A and B are shown apart, each in its own frame.
Chain A
Amino acid sequence: MTQSNESPRWDLIIKGQTSLFDLRFADVWHYRDLLWMFVKRDFVSFYKQTVLGPLWFFIQPILATLVFTFVFGELAKISTDGLPQQLFYLSGITAWNYFADCLTKTSTVFKDNVNLFGKVYFPRLIMPMSIVISNLVRFGVQMLLLVAAMAFFALRGFDVQPTWALALFPLLVLIMALLGLGCGLIITAVTTKYKDLSFLVTFGVQLAMYATTVIIPLSATPEQYKKYILLNPMTGIIEAFRFGFLGKGTVTVESLGYSALFAVVVLFMGVLIFNRTEKNFVDTI
């Protein structure tokens, strides 16, 4: 070994065994331009591909609202906290959709990008992060729908009462994004090895929605099930969301704090697992 007159400084060391906490956030920062390029790509390609463009964003929540109104409102006659049924369901669906989109789209990151990831290195975390940001566009458009629906009911004479909790809106979006991202990261990492789990995801997300207050308000939930519904970190967010925009819902510091803490813990675990998987997933997928 002759290493006498060589400077011992290396810019990059590629090793097999690295620490679990070697997360290379500096790399992510260096590639921040790429994050915006991906967001822009998603946005532009979506507009160019469809004739109706963002109109598609409206169709799903409208249809879901109509179905819920019919099934749960008309047939099952479940209480909607005194709100017009359409507004009640639409607000829940809008918030839930953002979380669900973030989760399902990030949960297939490895599978969808095998070709790209197999050819070039960039911090893989950029990809799910860009998805969460791209989804904000869709969420924004659906929010317009909600606001339009609120205006419509206000004109029809219903007293729509936004409250102080509207100020929490950015925080709620952030928690939903982190929660969706965290769950998605864990799922995408696990499904590279155990592929069958991916079948559970869409199904599981559907089921999870019924364990929140999207359909049944907390006030109408039987007492013995309440604690389970409250265990779902999305419950606090949807309640706060509804309270902010429509004035009905249960907001407590505990429930929001629980959601935020849950999101941070899940995200942290997600990043660790994702980071562990990204190094070798090309070999196993």
Chain B
Amino acid sequence: MSTVIKVDNLSKAYQLGKIGTGTISRDLERFWITKVMGKEDPFLRIGETNDRSVRGTGDVVWSLRDVNFSVQQGDAVGIIGKNGAGKSTLLKLLSRVTSPTLGEIRIKGRISSLLEVGTGFHPELSGRENIFLNGSILGMRRREIARKLDEIIDFSGVERYIDTPVKRYSSGMYVRLAFAVAAHLESEILVVDEVLAVGDAEFRNKCLGKMQDISTGQGRTVLFVSHDMTAISALCNRGIVLKHGMIDFHGDVSASIQNYIFDTRKEVEGDLNFSNRAGDGTLKVEALTFDYGKIYQSGDRVTITATLDRELTPDEYDKVNLFFVISNSLKKVVLTLSSKYAPFDAAARGNKIVFDVPSLPLAEGLYTVDYWMSYHGVFADGVKEITSIEVLGTDFYGTGYMPVPRKHGEFLVHHKVALKP
């Protein structure tokens, strides 16, 4: 195993705000300070870490700061992080679309990057002509493309239309053809952005299979950026978690995913000052903690704690009915949890009502949560869409076969199957 990518102190600064006004004078000032007086660039010194939620004072932001890592040959590395964590910047630097402010990347072997499929496709040209054009843009030589042409056309599955201008293609055909070209690149290192998020399930699996073949079968190195933890865990053996432009975790892929999910969980807290609050307020939920926040995997244990504004006696608790209503992205209610669905404990007292779901049965998707509470049969408190939660797909059944999102339904339940005489 040898190191094929080595990244040292990689940093990238971006200027915030409007570029244009006053830049000539600023450029002159900068030129004077750095080149003539030989001092440090004042516009980089005031930089700060990239945290969207904190309003900074400077107008330079470090999208990446002091990132160090190395990648071994044959590794498939998943790069994980929230929006704005620096994933795209890292990809752009690796693909030489833009260059780093400080630090360097050293690479052994040819590197190709796919930040998008079908880059440079021209609608007027035929599929065949576009294969040559797109292949050349990605750095293939003409001979190389000609040699692989049949293979590419075969993989794309659009033979019938190969001499038709691509403007007549359906978007699915377009993507298939584009991915087919990319999949036949011969470089030793492949950098891939979420190109798999397009196309139907069948083609998606074909792409995943091809990527797996590239990394494990052919021993090439793959860097893969995605929000899709299912794809990351299926494809990668290593993971890098980025947070605010710095490396938060670097290691085995499942540990990286755990780290990422756990980190997003810590962030959710409810202090319930909502204007859309309804009810007569005779009893109120003061704080709501989703013990784990916003991102779950199917089958996770979920604990929701509702802290009330006062302590309840068993008699009072008997008169409370607290609901959590979970709806899918089409606003259809898929699940309701209620304090009345659980056995009543006549001895308990306190100010926290704790819901414990041992295994979340929801399939991959985005859900919203409403809560409402009645006291003595009267609507006391409630907020619609208090939070949204994201459920990520996982190997729920432990068999390696995963349900297809949106196609195989909303729920996952464990079940036994046997072949009988």
Interface residues on B, range: 35 or more
For the complex, is A194 an interface residue (Cβ under 8 Å from B)?
yes
B165 CB within 8 Å of chain A: yes
Specify which of A30, A34, A117 is in contact with B97 (CB 8 Å cutoff).
A117
Interface code A9-49, partner B: CB below 8 Å = 1, 0 otherwise?
11111111010000000000011011011101100110011
Alpha-carbon distance A132/B94, docked complex (angstroms) = 30
Is B96 part of the binding interface, using a Cβ–Cβ cutoff of 8 Å?
yes
Instruction: Name the residue on B nearest A122 (C-beta).
Output: B137
Q: Which of B23, B111, B139, B141 contacts A12 (CB 8 A)?
A: B111
How many A-B pairs have beta carbons closer than 8 Å: the answer is 114
In chain B between 146 and 175, which residues have their CB closer than 8 angstroms to a CB of chain A?
A: 165
A282 near B96 (CB under 8 angstroms)? no
Q: Mark A117-143, 1 if CB is under 8 A from B, else 0.
A: 111111000000000000000000000
CB-based contact B107/A12 at 8 Å = yes
A116 to B113, CA, bound (A): 13
User: Is B100 at the interface (CB under 8 A from chain A)?
Assistant: yes
Q: Is A195 an interface residue (CB 8 A)?
A: yes
B125 contacts across to A, CB distance below 8 A: 41, 44-45
A37-B133, A45-B125 in contact; A119/B97 too (CB < 8 A)?
yes
Alpha-carbon gap, A195 to B2, bound state (A) = 46
Segment of B116-124, B218-226, B310-318 engaged in the interface with chain A: B116-124
Q: Which residue of B lies closest to A113 (CB)?
A: B120
Chain B residue nearest to A10 (CB atoms) is: B106
Q: Contact between B108 and A10 (Cβ–Cβ < 8 Å)?
A: yes
B100 and chain A: residue at smallest CB distance: A16
Say yes or no: is B98 at the interface (Cβ < 8 Å to chain A).
yes
A279 and B99 contact, CB distance less than 8 A: yes
Contact with A along B277-311 (1 / 0, CB 8 A): 00000000000000000000000000000000000
Query: B19: CB under 8 A from chain A?
Result: yes
CA distance A47 to B268 in the complex (A): 58
Which residue of chain B is the closest to A33 with respect to CB atoms?
B142
What does the 1/0 interface line of B8-30 toward A look like (CB < 8 Å)? 00000011000110011000000
Given the interface pairs A121-B113, A122-B139, A193-B23, the reply to whether A283 lies near B98 with Cβ below 8 Å is yes
**Looking across the interface, which residue of chain B has its beta carbon closest to that of A8?**
B106
Residues of A within 8 A of B101 (CB): 16
Whether A45 and B122, one on each chain, are in contact in the complex, defined by CB atoms closer than 8 angstroms, is yes
Q: What 1/0 mask marks residues of chain A from 260 to 285 whose CB sits below 8 Å from any chain B CB?
A: 00000000000000000001101110
A54 to chain B, nearest CB (A): 16
For residue A2, give the distance in angstroms from its CB to the closest CB of chain B.
10
B104 neighbours in A (Cβ, 8 Å):
13-16
Q: Which residues of B contact A31 (CB under 8 A)?
A: 136, 139
Knowing A41-B133, A118-B97, A193-B23 are in contact, say whether A10-B14 is a contact too (CB < 8 A).
Answer: no
Bound state CA distance, A6 and B1, in angstroms? 10
Query: Is B48 positioned at the interface, with any CB of A under 8 Å from its CB?
Result: no
A134 CB → nearest B CB, Å: 13
The residue that B19 contacts in the complex, of A9, A119, A279, A284, with Cβ under 8 A, is A284
For the complex, is B110 an interface residue (Cβ under 8 Å from A)?
yes
Measured between beta carbons, the chain B residues less than 8 angstroms from A279 are 98-99
Give A186 Cβ to nearest chain B Cβ, in Å: 16
Q: Is B208's CB within 8 Å of the partner chain A? A: no
Contact flag A11-B142 (CB < 8 Å), given A16-B101, A34-B137, A283-B98? no
**Of residues 47 to 105 in B, which have CB atoms within 8 Å of A's CB atoms?**
92-105
- Could you tell me if B108 and A119 are in contact, using CB atoms closer than 8 angstroms? no
Q: Is A7 part of the contact surface with B, judged by Cβ < 8 Å? A: yes
Q: Does B360 contact A (CB under 8 A)?
A: no
Q: Tell me, yes or no, whether B350 is within 8 Å of chain A by CB.
A: no
Residues of A within 8 A of B20 (CB): 193-195
A30 cross-chain contacts in B, Cβ below 8 A: 139
Would A14 and B115 count as touching, CB distance under 8 A? no
Contact in complex: B2, A7 (CB < 8 Å): yes
A205 to B91 Cα, complex, angstroms: 39
How many angstroms between the C-alpha atoms of A284 and B15 in the bound complex?
A: 9
At the interface, yes or no: B138 with Cβ under 8 Å from chain A?
Answer: yes
Contact (Cβ within 8 A) B99 A280? yes
| Chain B residues with CB below 8 A from A14, complex form | 93-94, 96, 99-100, 104-107
Q: Which residues of B contact A34 (CB under 8 A)?
A: 136-137
Distance in angstroms between the alpha carbons of A45 and B113 in the assembled complex: 27
Whether B338 is near chain A, meaning CB under 8 Å from some CB there, is no
Q: Are B120 and A116 in contact (CB under 8 A)?
A: yes
Give Cα A41–Cα B126 distance, bound, in whole angstroms: 11
- The residue that A11 contacts in the complex, of B24, B97, B109, with Cβ under 8 A, is B109
Look across to chain B and name the residue whose beta carbon is closest to the beta carbon of A44.
Answer: B125
A15 CA / B165 CA spacing, docked (Å): 40
**A9 partner residues in chain B, CB cutoff 8 A:** 108
Q: Say if the beta carbon of B132 comes within 8 Å of chain A.
A: yes
7 A–B contacts, CB within 8 A, in A order: A11-B110, A13-B104, A116-B120, A119-B115, A120-B115, A121-B113, A122-B139
Tell me the A residues contacting B by CB distance below 8 Å. Answer: 6-7, 9-16, 18, 30-31, 33-34, 36-38, 40-41, 44-45, 48-49, 116-122, 193-195, 279-280, 282-284
Q: Closest 3 CB pairs between A and B?
A: A121-B96, A34-B136, A279-B99
